[in-house]
Amino acid sequence: MVWNIGTRSPSALVRDVSTSIREPRTLFTGALSLLVGLVFVAAATVLIAPALPNPDAELIPVEIFTFVVALGIELLVGDDVRRLASGRSRST
């Protein structure tokens, strides 16, 4: 997921990074995920700019608000989306 980093604890982040350094495929997957995220950020910027009456003054605050909302959505549904994408069943 693009916003995985927003809901990980620092210890989980350190563990995941150290694991990915030892496994080239995981490192490649993480780098690819980062690139996809950057493409989404660029696309969002290009798509939102025409909707603003004064992009020079309003673009940055609107983008910050958009990122905060996206992180909130990730926090609420991110684990379920990752679980469904991986094909695992729900564990209680």
What's the pLDDT tens digit per position in 81-91?
778 877 776 66
> The domain containing residue 71 runs over which residues?
4-86
On whether residue 16 sits in a domain, the answer given is: yes
On whether residue 65 sits in a domain, the answer given is: yes
pTM of the model: 0.59
Are the C-beta atoms of residues 3 and 40 closer than 8 Å to each other? no
On whether residue 91 sits in a domain, the answer given is: no
What is the total count of domains within the chain? 1
Are the C-beta atoms of residues 2 and 37 closer than 8 Å to each other? yes
On whether residue 40 sits in a domain, the answer given is: yes
Which one-letter DSSP state was computed for residue 3? T
Q: Please write the tens of the pLDDT for every residue from 10-51.
A: 788 788 888 888 888 888 887 888 888 888 888 888 888 888
Q: How many CB atoms lie within 10 A of CB 25?
A: 8
On whether residue 92 sits in a domain, the answer given is: no
